[in-house]
A and B are shown apart, each in its own frame.
Chain A
Amino acid sequence: MADRSEGPEKTSTWDRISPLITLIVFVCIVALLANAFASPSLKRVVLTTLLNMILVVGFYVFSGNSGIISFGHIGFAAVGAYAVAILSVPPTMKLVILPGLPSAISNLAFDSNLAMVCGAGVVAVFAALVGYPIVRLKGVGPAIATLALLQVIHVVIANWRSVTGGDSTLVGVPIDTTLWVALFWVVAALIVAYAYQTSRSGRRLRASREDADAARSVGIHVPWERYKALILSAAIMAVGGGLYGHYLGSLSPRTLYLTLGFLGILMAVVGGINSLAGVVTGVAVVSAIIEGLRRFADGFSVGSFELKGMPGLQEVVLAILLLIILIRMPAGLTGGREVNTRFLSRLRGRAKGDRETPVEGTSDV
């Protein structure tokens, strides 16, 4: 909160944005390597990882900055996915699969990227309408309320036949989420998330995460800050969901539901939910573990000996991992720190002496 010009340490622009640049460079290198060397199946894994990263970054913008775990964030992605799909499915197709749709919507045929932006807008409005009561809750309230919100969304999607196709799968979504599209949106999400967390509002919210009462006592309107973060993060979730729809080519009410929601929370917590670097690390690490387990669980043959697949193994291992992290290192693998780029600064000859990084697990970038 302190005015930067009065602070004892003036930080350069580079110091301020280098943690973000590092993350973007990391993600781009992974994507480029995958594009150059990976097999088609591994390429799909990297693409899914990038999509999950958008969802987890969206989740982080609210839950990471506010300290309130939302168990229903995937619901925003589901709403976004359907909104984007309905806007971008070709009108001729819509007449067949969603005959009950009002003609005004039915005639729309947006380009995928425009549909993403519109979907994000729709979900932001949706979050703005439902969000305020939820961010005011205390204790176990937000957890249960967000879970309830997810159920409401799920039931409505599964039953609103004329708009979502109901329980049956909504097919005909254009499949155009390529690696580059996903990479573009990941970078955009990272920039938005970082810009938010270093903004005035973001810092107020992070202060309230550390001590809500103290934050209130210095004049921070905690619910209001949470509300803004919720809307922003819901918009990012919507883009993630929309991209998922355009990646799979079809949507069902279970596509973006509890399983993926848990996975997102798990990734964030494993990496460290208090920092952007933490959630990016979490997505990368957990995705790598999942891919390893998938190869194992799908079964493989050694010579003439064939091992049968073992569905469920992946989830069991991830559940144990989550428990261990929650019990042993609740701040996650990164301890909630951002990337420390001081050594890079030193290489550039701009280090300002040897001041120690504060190690409170909650580094303020």
Chain B
Amino acid sequence: MLTVLQYCTDAVALGCLFALGAIGVGIVFGVMRLANFAHGEFIMLGAYALLILSGLPWVLTWTLALCFVGLIALLTERVAFRWLRGADSSTLLMSSFAVSIFLQNSVIIAFGSRARAVKMPTFVNGSPVFFGLRIPVVSLLTISLTVISLVALVIFFKRTSLGLQMRASAEDFRMARLLGTPANRVVAAAFAISGGLACIVSILLTARSGTVVPAMGLTPVLFAFVAVTIGGLGNLVGSAVGGFLVGFITMGMQAVLPSGLSSYRDALAFLAVIAILVFRPQGLLPSIAVEERV
């Protein structure tokens, strides 16, 4: 029983991590139809921001890192993606690869390609025991930060006019523009939020591993793609659900699969993506009007 609960808390924590990544990717996909591969690099840059700022009090470090990644995200939009608005999805994806390579190698030029240790506040290393259940502080932190971000996002989307405009743009960008939605502001907001979410992921990842490395963004962004596709492209609730689902399923496979097969876990996740795209291209929770009309 305890083992099952243990797995459950781990699965929830992992699901939260994937959900944050997936929403970060999904929010930009929603307004721009851009599957932003550079999101992984946002995560990586957040971790390097933590490395640079690690001398400061942790609240300050985290806040500054959050702002930094948000700004970087805005900058990539302004410099690269703005010119490609409305381009087809392959072009957009290629441009995000270019941005990703650019950011990653800029970091390699500045810091080298070796892994570096980051000093995190000491409290994240603990793992208190509740009723015999060992819950690492990192997991608690993951869950609470995810809940806070999700609540903040829901309030933003439901209660602010910018949030409303973003939802409208995600549904039909052209129509929303015709009705007076400021396109630049909506897209910029999407990138800023996406960057902020990426930075939360970097805080959590760095708290888990204690190290940063220029290539660290690849796995998170690939899994975010998986989650976004499974949940339904262009649908934020779907992205979040997809993230949790991927977290649960990967943990489940970790627990159930025999050791010889568990190394193929990631392959199964990506096979699931292909299967979803083929059999249910609108995702598990379809958004409106994904089918292109002729």
Partners in one complex: yes
Task: Tell me if B167 is interfacial: C-beta within 8 Å of chain A.
Answer: no
Interface size class of B (residues with CB under 8 A): 35 or more
Does B83 lie within 8 Å of A327, measured CB to CB? yes
B278 within 8 A of partner (CB): yes
Q: Contact at A315–B105, with CB atoms within 8 Å?
A: yes
B89 touches A140 (CB 8 A): yes
A137 CA to B277 CA, complexed, in Å: 7
In the complex, whether B226 has a CB less than 8 A from a CB of chain A is yes
The number of chain A residues with a CB under 8 A from chain B is 43
- Shortest CB-to-CB span from A365 to chain B, Å, is 23
Question: What residues of B have a CB within 8 angstroms of the CB of A258 in the complex?
Answer: 218
Known A-B contacts A313-B105, A326-B91; the reply to A148 vs B273 at CB < 8 A is yes
Contact A137 B292 (CB under 8 A): no
- Mark interface residues in B267-285 (1 if CB within 8 Å of A CB, else 0): 1001101100110010000
Establish whether residues B89 and A155, one from each chain, have CB atoms under 8 Å apart when the complex forms.
Answer: no
Q: Is the CB of B277 within 8 A of A143?
A: no
For B84, B93, B105, B106, the residue with the greatest tally of chain A CB atoms inside 10 Å of its CB is B105
Chain B residues with CB below 8 A from A68, complex form? 90
A136 adjacent to B278 (CB under 8 Å): yes
Is the pair A71, B267 in contact by a Cβ cutoff of 8 Å? no
Check A145 against B277 for contact (C-beta < 8 Å): yes
A319–B292 CA distance with the chains assembled, in angstroms: 31
Asked whether, in the complex, the Cβ of A140 is within 8 Å of the Cβ of B233, the reply is: yes
Q: In the complex, are the beta carbons of B113 and A137 less than 8 A apart?
A: no
Tell which of B59-67, B95-103, B237-245 binds the partner.
Answer: B95-103
The answer to whether B108 touches A319, judged by C-beta atoms less than 8 angstroms apart, is no
Q: Tell me which residues from 122 to 170 in chain A have a Cβ below 8 Å from any Cβ of chain B.
A: 133-134, 136-145, 147-149, 151-152, 155-156, 159
Question: Given A71, A133, A148, A213, which contacts B93 in the complex, CB threshold below 8 Å?
Answer: A71
Whether A137 contacts B267 by the Cβ 8 Å rule is no
User: Within the complex, which residue of B80, B106, B107, B281 is in contact with A137, where a contact is CB–CB below 8 Å?
Assistant: B281
A133 touches B33 (CB 8 A): no
Q: Report the Cα distance A20→B95, complex, angstroms.
A: 30
Known contacts A137-B281, A143-B35, A147-B225, A320 near B102 by CB under 8 Å:
yes
Q: Given A312-B106, A316-B105, is A265 in contact with B273 using a C-beta cutoff of 8 Å?
A: no
Given known contacts A144-B225, A159-B264, A316-B109, A149 and B274 CB-to-CB distance under 8 angstroms: yes
Q: Which of A103-138 contact B (CB under 8 A)?
A: 133-134, 136-138
A143 and B104 CA atoms in complex are apart in Å by 22
- Knowing A315-B101, A319-B102, say if A155 contacts B270 (CB, 8 Å): yes
B270 touches A311 (CB 8 A): no
Residues of chain A with a CB closer than 8 A to B274's CB: 133-134, 145, 148-149, 152
Let me know if B172 is at the binding interface, CB within 8 A: no
Q: In the complex, are the beta carbons of A139 and B108 less than 8 A apart?
A: no
Q: Are B99 and A319 in contact (CB under 8 A)?
A: yes
Question: Which among B93, B97, B108, B281 is the interface contact of A312 at CB below 8 angstroms?
Answer: B108
A195 at interface by CB-CB < 8 Å: no
Query: Are B108 and A133 interface neighbours, CB within 8 A?
Result: no
Docked complex: A241-287 residues within 8 A CB-CB of B: 258, 262, 265-266, 269
B87 within 8 A of partner (CB): yes
Bound Cα distance A313, B95 (Å): 18
Q: Name which of B80, B104, B226, B270 has the most chain A CB atoms within 10 A of its CB.
A: B270
Smallest CB–CB gap between B167 and chain A, Å?
20
Across the interface, which residues of A come within 8 angstroms of B292, CB to CB?
Answer: 138-139
Complex Cα gap A134–B273 (Å): 11
Annotate A294-337 by CB proximity to B: 1 below 8 A, 0 otherwise.
00000000000000001111011011101100110010000000
Chain B 28-58 near chain A by CB (<8 Å), digits 1 or 0: 0000010100000000000000000000000
Q: Does A236 contact B (CB under 8 A)?
A: no
| A330 lies within 8 A of B89 (CB) | no
Contact A155 B266 (CB under 8 A): yes
Residue of A nearest to B103 (CB): A319
In the bound complex, residues from chain A placing their C-beta under 8 Å from that of B105 are: 312-313, 315-316, 319
Contact A316 B90 (CB under 8 A): no
Q: A166's closest neighbor in chain B, by CB? A: B263
Is the CB–CB distance between B225 and A312 below 8 Å?
no
A16 vs chain B, min Cβ distance (A): 30
Asked if A69 is at the interface of the complex by the 8 Å CB criterion, the answer is: yes
- The answer for the CA separation of A141 and B280 in the assembled complex, in Å, is 11
CB-CB under 8 A from B264, the residues of chain A are 155-156, 159
A265, chain B: closest CB distance, angstroms: 6
Q: Contacts A315-B105, A319-B99; is A143 near B278 (CB within 8 Å)?
A: no
What's the nearest-Cβ distance from chain B to residue A289, in Å? 14
Cross-interface CB contact of A269 among B94, B263, B294, cutoff 8 Å: B94
Contacts of B107 in A (CB 8 A): 312
B278 engages A137 (CB within 8 Å): yes
B270 contacts A152, C-beta separation under 8 Å: yes
CA distance A227 to B290 in the complex (A): 24
A148/B270 in contact, CB under 8 A: yes
User: In the complex the two chains form, what is the Cα distance from A327 to B91 in whole Å?
Assistant: 9
B229 at the interface (CB under 8 A from A): yes
CA distance A318 to B104 in the complex (A): 13
In the assembled complex, B251 has its CB within 8 A of some CB on chain A: no
B75 within 8 A of A: no
A69/B93 contact (C-beta < 8 A), A148-B270, A327-B84 known: yes
State A34–B227 Cα separation when bound (angstroms): 49
For the complex, what is the distance from the CA of A335 to the CA of B278, rounded to whole Å? 33
- The residue on A at minimum CB distance from B260 is A159
Task: Other than A147-B222, A316-B109, A326-B95, give 6 A-B pairs with Cβ distance below 8 A.
Answer: A141-B277, A159-B267, A262-B101, A319-B101, A320-B98, A323-B98
Can you list 24 contacts pairing A with B, beta carbon distance less than 8 Å?
A: A133-B277, A136-B278, A137-B278, A139-B290, A144-B229, A145-B277, A148-B225, A148-B273, A151-B270, A152-B271, A155-B263, A159-B267, A262-B97, A312-B108, A313-B109, A315-B101, A319-B101, A322-B97, A323-B98, A323-B99, A326-B84, A326-B94, A326-B95, A330-B91
Report, nearest first, the 8 A-B pairs whose CB atoms are least far apart.
A312-B108, A69-B90, A312-B105, A319-B102, A155-B267, A315-B105, A140-B89, A148-B270
